[in-house]
Amino acid sequence: MNYHEILTNGTSYLKKNKIKNPYLDTELLLSKTINKKREEILLNIYNKVENREIEKFKYYLFRRRQKEPIAYIMGYKYFWRYKFLTNKSVLIPRPDTELIIEETLNYLPIHNSKKILDIGTGSGCIIISLIKERPKCKATALDISLKAIKVAKTNAKLHQLENKINFINIDIDKYKSSNYDLIISNPPYIDNIDFNRLEDDIKSHEPKLALSGGSDGFKNINKVIIKSRKLLKINGKLILEIGHKQKNKTIKMLKKNSFYINKVSKDFSKTDRCIVSTRLK
């Protein structure tokens, strides 16, 4: 079979199995199989594929048919300006989360050397992107999942930041080191009803620990706010990602814990997604 035939067959197989973006996914999987860029495939569309590679391609296609996210099969995902290794131990970095980076950079002039904490680092995509942009800052990143910490450390190494970010496998409840200038967090915030409505790609493949915020979705948001008050310096900033419909209650929690609300910003789909706040006392 040649590239063209493989793309045609693969696309119709995924389409039949109701996979979104069947052509794009097939092209990506073929590119992984033969280790060539997508442009090279399109420029050499009648090149033959070896039988051994066809078997490999079928295996990837089968995984996609089982709704495994393309980022897990490919083994990476782009976030901000960088490439991050991803596997089933970590949440796949989302474009909406780039809002945290944008907002944080507004509060971090380029030559500043602030002390930053990332709560629930997952793949490490937020803190690694930030330290790439603000190399004078010092960072700690923690996660309750040891497997996630291993992925984050590997990503830090890939971006030559292994000596600049201190990764710790710990529950935020037990973390005590304080005096941070800035805390960022994208905590698990999906409530039980929305969790059950998630697409299979997400619900059956991404770690529940990274998604579920308990029955009302606020379990971790609440923890992060209460803990941040203790860990931040006075006037330190907390920059938090939230779910749709969580703005008002989160603002209430922040105010109750002596935070001033600087800004609420919206994501690409005009949903309130990120709250910037300051610890007042």
Ligand X SMILES: C[S@@+](CC[C@H](N)C(=O)[O-])C[C@H]1O[C@@H](n2cnc3c(N)ncnc32)[C@H](O)[C@@H]1O
Min CB(201)–ligand X separation in Å: 16
Min CB(161)–ligand X separation in Å: 15
| CA–CA gap between residue 33 and residue 19 (Å, rounded) | 19
Residue closer to ligand X by CB (options 45, 146) is 146
User: Which H/E stretch holds residue 260?
Assistant: strand 259-266
Tell the burial category of 111 from Cβ atoms under 10 Å away from its Cβ (0-12, 13-18, 19+): exposed
Distances (CA, A) of 123 to 68, 156, 207: 18, 9, 12
Min CB(122)–ligand X separation in Å: 3
For 121, the 3-state DSSP assignment is coil
Residue closer to ligand X by CB (options 11, 140) is 140
Min CB(213)–ligand X separation in Å: 9
Residue closer to ligand X by CB (options 10, 120) is 120
Looking up tokens 């910003």, which residue turns up? 265
Nearest to 209 by CA among 172, 247, 157, 184: 172
| CA–CA gap between residue 23 and residue 11 (Å, rounded) | 5
Looking up tokens 């931040």, which residue turns up? 232
Min CB(88)–ligand X separation in Å: 12
Bridge-based pairing of strands 259-266 and 232-241 is: unpaired
Residue closer to ligand X by CB (options 6, 100) is 100
Residue closer to ligand X by CB (options 156, 172) is 172
Min CB(129)–ligand X separation in Å: 10
Nearest to 225 by CA among 265, 177, 278: 278
Residue closer to ligand X by CB (options 26, 97) is 97
Min CB(120)–ligand X separation in Å: 2
Q: Are 10 and 54 in contact (CB under 8 A)?
A: no
Min CB(93)–ligand X separation in Å: 5
Residue closer to ligand X by CB (options 175, 260) is 175
| CA–CA gap between residue 65 and residue 13 (Å, rounded) | 8
Residue closer to ligand X by CB (options 27, 206) is 206
How many Cβ atoms are within 10 Å of 181's Cβ, its own excluded? 19
Q: Are 30 and 1 in contact (CB under 8 A)?
A: no
Site residues, ligand X (CB under 6 A): 91, 93, 97, 120-123, 125-126, 142-145, 148, 171-172, 186-188, 209-210, 220
How many Cβ atoms are within 10 Å of 221's Cβ, its own excluded? 26
